[in-house]
Amino acid sequence: MVTRYGIASVEGMAAGTAVLLAKGASPEEGAPGAGGGMTLDEAFEAEKKKFEAFSREGSGETAGIFAAHLEILEDPMLRETIEGRLADGLSPVDAVRAASDELAAMFAEIDDEYLRARADDVRDICRGLSDRLSGGRSNTLDNLPEDAVIVAEELFPSDTAEMDFGKVRAFVTRKGSVTSHVSIIARSKGIPALLGVDIDGIGTGDRLLVDGNTRQLTVGPDEGAEKAFFAKMKQLAESDEEDVPLRPAGTPVAVFGNAGSLEDITVAIEAGAEGIGLFRTEFVFMNASYFPTEEEQFAIYREAVRRCNGKPLIIRALDIGGDKALPYLNLPPEENPFLGMRGVRLCLKHPEGFRLQVRAILRAGAFGPVRMMIPMVAKEGELEDVLRLVKVCTEELEREGVAHDPTLQVGIMVETPAAVLMAPELARKAAFFSIGTNDLTQYTMAADRGNPGVAPLYNPMDPAVKRAIEMTVVAGREAGIPVGICGEMASTAEGRRVLASLGVDSVSLSSPRQISKLKQK
């Protein structure tokens, strides 16, 4: 019996039989048995049809994921990057692989965890193109046992598209992200998932026990371990039947959605979200080779407002760090971008660019309820500088006779210990608080959530994190401003019990399935 640890992408418990997903290398272009690979145009068209079919045939959440894949596939940046590598003399297959590495690296360097995980989507898309060009074909997941635990180096959404989820009990991978689309699919299906696991030595047919609650994988359990495991499963199932809503009495907690694209907004609203509690704007800047103009940003934010159908939209200011994710900003590399020039620090360092975003958000507010949220605030002075800029931009638009929201509410993400300690002072200036539990946990515990070695430390239920949340809620309540939770904390019964005891005003979730579930409580 061997015990290993990982990062819980999706909590829960499952026992089953290992199915090792080994990706075979695609044949080289023109190699014997390559099956007469397609041209680049044919490969793009075939992948387009595939993702259209996956989007059309999938459930609401899965459909949205493959719709996002389709957006990346049709983004001129992908085709232009591939053609640039072709111009360098690479073969079509090698050009696709080089473009995949280049674009995935660009996403992977972003501070925002959700957008960083889009690197997986780029690799998934380019892998499909490469297979089309070479005539190669990845292994499939046919003939699964009834209790399959899928074990792989990494999984991509395309791997799951035709998977028989009636037979899948859990995912275990060496690589991956808690915000990857595969993790989102696992959450939508209620399948436990462990990432960052040492899978060496695990073979198809091995007996596995997956405990997402303790981040533990047991390989080849003995009889005693099996008995204790199933006893715990039974106890948790009985506990879930006695689950409590977010607030047992009084005003119900609002359930919002998180969105990193326009398509995400549509999916969240259709799932029943009462608004968008976090609209990440980084995609607007990443899809451009220059700093987007005010008009370009305004068009996207206005469309986001339209898709909310009159429900509130909280737009987060640009949250990209100093790691050259945006080449046109000429940012120097940093040893630790998580503690560097990111969030509000970067915005204030580039006031002219930030001014364009603020004006675009103010103008979008003329078309529906819009609020602006400032990330990574650690000092009162940072919020004061933002509020002064908003005032200046408001006065400019007023003089120009341009429609805008003159009463735009500006709030902050509470995700640094400094913001928690200064919460009473910040609450007197902010219109609302949104607690970013992911980063707050990471910074409070000094534990990288993507590092399996410190996985036991990264725990939103740790007393230190719960105390930080409570301090923030109390400060907001005393100042009379709403306090929300931005993260997946409300997606577990334990997290809901903690939040119910604290009395938060709203939660914002990435999973449409969880949104629908909480709306029914």
Catalytic residue ranges: 181, 486
Please report, as a single letter, which amino acid is at residue 42: E
The pair of three-digit structure tokens given for residue 283, joined into one six-digit string:
């995609």
Per-residue exposure over 437-452, b if at least 16 CB sit within 10 Å of its own CB, e if not: bbbbbbbbbebebbeb
169 and 193 Cβ atoms separated by less than 8 Å: no
150 and 42 Cβ atoms separated by less than 8 Å: no
Kindly list the strands in the beta sheet with 193-195, ordered across the sheet, starting from the edge strand earlier in the chain: 2-5, 216-219, 207-211, 13-21, 148-152, 168-173, 193-195, 7-10
The pair of three-digit structure tokens given for residue 78, joined into one six-digit string:
């992908």
At 425, is the secondary structure helix, strand, or coil?
Answer: helix
Sequence-ordered list of residues with C-beta below 8 angstroms from that of 235, at least 6 positions apart, any chain: none
322 and 346 Cβ atoms separated by less than 8 Å: yes
Sequence-ordered list of residues with C-beta below 8 angstroms from that of 242, at least 6 positions apart, any chain: none
C-alpha 19/C-alpha 207 separation (Å) is 10
Q: For strands 207-211 and 193-195, give the pairing.
A: unpaired
DSSP for 355-382, written as a single string: HHHHHHHHHHGGGS-EEEEE-S--SHHH
429 and 369 Cβ atoms separated by less than 8 Å: no
Helix and strand totals (H; E) in the chain: 21, 16
C-alpha 99/C-alpha 428 separation (Å) is 48
298 and 363 Cβ atoms separated by less than 8 Å: yes
Give the position of tokens 């990857």. 180
Q: Where are the beta strands (DSSP E) in 465-517?
A: 483-486, 506-509
Length of the chain, in residues: 521
